[in-house]
Amino acid sequence: MNNAREVMTADVITVSPEMTVEEVISTLLENNISGVPVVDDERNMVGIISEYQLLELVFTPDLKSSPVCKFMTKEVVTVSEEAELTEVATQFVLHRVRRLPVVSNGKLVGVISRRDLLRQLVSRQDAEDDLASRLGPCAAH
């Protein structure tokens, strides 16, 4: 697995920009996720919203009926489905984000999380270790 498409989660939970803050919080809690892409009816990326951003609203409860588009990040860092995993890792480090939407022609096709990438690194290392053990002690030379 060398690119985002092979590691991403394709069945992505999304919200619309018109959903209320309260509806988005419920979506996060019901699905045990910490952030969610905001997409229009054609699955075009229009933003992203996280628990962290929503926590800022705790002290202003009257905002819970406001549309999430008022609080979402509109300039979203994304990767293409062809992005190599090294590029994906670089984006995680540079932008300090937990998840990266994967897009094709501006449309959301998946999400890759830091955990997805780490899981891939561990499984790749396990596969390499297994191959090395089958080849014998001289395989590393």
pLDDT digits (tens, 9 = 90+) for 10-56: 999 999 999 999 999 999 999 999 999 999 999 999 999 999 999 98
Domain boundaries, the chain: 4-135
Strand locations in the chain, DSSP E? 35-39, 45-50, 79-80, 99-104, 107-113
Reported as a single tens digit per residue, the pLDDT across 86-117 is: 999 999 999 999 999 999 998 999 999 999 99
Tell me what pLDDT residue 139 has.
55
Fold of 4-135: CBS-domain (3.10.580)
pLDDT of 59 reads 82
Q: What's the token pair of residue 129?
A: 């270790």
Residue from 34, 39, 25, 29 nearest 110 by CA: 39
Q: Which two tokens stand for residue 45?
A: 């990326």
In angstroms, rounded to a whole number, what is the distance separating the alpha carbons of residues 140 and 133?
10
pLDDT recorded at residue 1: 55
What crossing angle do the helices spanning 114-135 and 85-95 adopt, rounded to 10°?
140
1 CB burial (10 A radius; 0-12, 13-18, 19+): exposed
- Per-residue pLDDT reduced to its tens digit, 71-87: 999 999 999 999 999 99
